[in-house]
């Protein structure tokens, strides 16, 4: 029987703390999520009873740590329904996952005159690596703009594909607007044109039930642990086995070597071919614990709960005079981006913090979005599974207090 989402809040110890003499209202989940006791305990137990380097040792602790590390990989593979466990590569996070592909794919497959397409909705981490690759290789960097509602038009994207298009990189959910991109439409269009697709899933894998990489048919799928209730410093690159076999290594060193001599170097098999050096074992263990935690909830019920909360938040924010809620996509997830007329977004964030309310302000590493909207930044409230309507009510009360304070 699935765990009730309403029970989740008590699993997160930080939510019982006070900030500036107010109960914490944490609405900065797109930046990082808080951690449940299950994840915190997994890290403590690993260091207390199992700490060792992995793979190369024959002693008991080394074997135990290796088993825990590889068990986490298996959990992640099942969580996203990868066809093979070795299609899961551990990285430091989404940024490194994307840079891995940009480096290896770019080295192997991008030539002068080729084209790479990204969306205008991208985080800089899924924009700049491709821009720099195109600059380095003499390729053409192309951007599909978003519509006035903050969405991508698949027909426009389809018209951009040419015989020179080598890759499409886009997010599943925009970290600034919350737009859910229709991958079920976009990926088949790309594949029909012979174009592989990299998906930035940093803002989706913890919110959407649609994380089955085989059903999506994503070629590459990248996400971070810390945005899905796991520790910082651990992330995942999923890639189809057929691509991983063709890509050259991203880094060189221990773990990823098969044979070394003065005349020849060969590399080990997947997934370790892409995991040079000492890995973040405790991070992987914590990620595995986070996957176990999330698996307690029915994914469709979790998505429905968060969508209901998002709809309530949208309604309450739109009722505030002078407040602009950016984007109006048909499908939005977890993100409420806004500004209040006459109040700088940074000032709003600081004054909400005095009331114990944590939000994020600025450009959110999406300057192309801000430029398109002709704004310098937004206040971003972002939801997690432990948030509730009381948090939304506290946010709206807090905004009204700030407005009253600054408009005296």
Give Cα separations from 128 to 132, 136, 172, 183 (angstroms).
Answer: 6, 12, 18, 22
Q: Yes or no: say if 105 and 167 are a contact pair by the CB < 8 Å rule.
A: yes
Tokens 């909830």 map to which residue? 297
Q: What are phi and psi of 244, to 5 degrees?
A: -60, -35
* DSSP 8-state code for residue 228: G
Choosing from 19, 365, 375, 406, which is the catalytic residue?
A: 365
Burial class (CB in 10 A: 0-12, 13-18, 19+), 318: exposed
**C-alpha–C-alpha distance, residues 106 and 100, integer Å:** 10
Give the helix ranges, DSSP H, for 51-181: 60-80, 94-109, 128-137, 154-160
Q: What is the DSSP letter of 1?
A: -
Active-site annotation holds for 134: no
Residue 90: strand pairing partners: 236
Q: Are 373 and 324 in contact (CB under 8 A)?
A: no
- For the chain, the distance separating the N- and C-terminal CA atoms, rounded to the nearest angstrom, is 53
CB 268 within 8 A of CB 128: no
Whether 219 and 246 have beta carbons less than 8 Å apart is answered as no
Which residues lie across from 383 on neighbouring strands? none
Among the listed residues 121, 141, 279, the one whose alpha carbon sits nearest the alpha carbon of residue 199: 121
What is the chain's Cα-based Rg? 22
The vertex-57 CA angle with 54 and 61, nearest 5°, equals 70
DSSP conformation class of 139: P
* Strand 323-325 versus strand 335-340 pairing type: antiparallel
Give the residue numbers annotated as catalytic, written as ranges: 365
């Amino acid at each position: 029987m699935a765990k009730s989402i309403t029970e989740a809040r008590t699993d997160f110890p930080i939510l019982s703390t006070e900030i500036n003499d107010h109960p914490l209202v944490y609405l900065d989940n797109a930046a990082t999520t808080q951690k449940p006791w299950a994840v915190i305990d997994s890290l403590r137990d690993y260091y207390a009873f199992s700490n060792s380097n992995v793979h190369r040792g024959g002693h008991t602790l080394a074997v135990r740590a290796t088993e825990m590390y590889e068990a986490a990989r298996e959990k992640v593979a099942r969580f996203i329904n990868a066809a093979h466990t070795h299609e899961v590569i551990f990285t430091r996070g989404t940024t490194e996952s994307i840079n891995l592909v940009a480096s290896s794919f770019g080295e192997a497959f991008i030539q002068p005159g080729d084209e790479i397409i990204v969306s205008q909705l991208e985080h800089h981490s899924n924009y700049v690596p491709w821009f720099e690759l195109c600059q380095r290789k003499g390729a053409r960097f192309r951007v599909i703009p978003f519509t006035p509602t903050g969405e991508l038009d698949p027909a426009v994207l389809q018209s951009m594909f040419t015989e020179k298009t080598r890759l499409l990189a886009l997010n599943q959910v925009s970290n600034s607007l919350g737009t859910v991109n229709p991958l079920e439409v976009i990926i088949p269009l790309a594949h029909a044109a012979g174009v592989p697709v990299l998906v930035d899933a940093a803002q989706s894998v913890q919110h959407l039930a649609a994380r089955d990489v085989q059903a999506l048919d994503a070629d590459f799928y990248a996400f971070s642990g810390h945005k899905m209730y796991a520790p910082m410093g651990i992330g995942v690159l999923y890639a189809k086995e057929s691509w991983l076999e063709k890509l050259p290594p991203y880094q060189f060193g221990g773990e990823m070597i098969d044979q070394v001599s003065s005349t020849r170097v060969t590399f080990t098999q997947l997934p370790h071919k892409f995991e040079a050096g000492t890995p973040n074992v405790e991070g992987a263990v914590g990620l595995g614990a986070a996957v176990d935690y999330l698996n307690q909830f029915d994914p469709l019920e979790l998505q429905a709960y968060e969508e209901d909360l998002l709809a309530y938040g949208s309604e309450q924010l739109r009722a505030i005079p002078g407040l602009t809620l950016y984007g109006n996509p048909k499908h939005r997830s977890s993100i409420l981006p806004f500004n209040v007329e006459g109040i700088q977004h940074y000032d709003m964030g600081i004054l909400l913090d005095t009331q114990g309310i944590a939000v994020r302000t600025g450009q959110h590493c999406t300057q192309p979005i801000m430029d398109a909207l002709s704004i310098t930044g937004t206040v971003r409230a972002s939801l997690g599974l432990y948030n509730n309507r009381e948090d939304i009510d506290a946010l709206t009360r807090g905004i009204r207090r700030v407005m009253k304070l600054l408009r005296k």
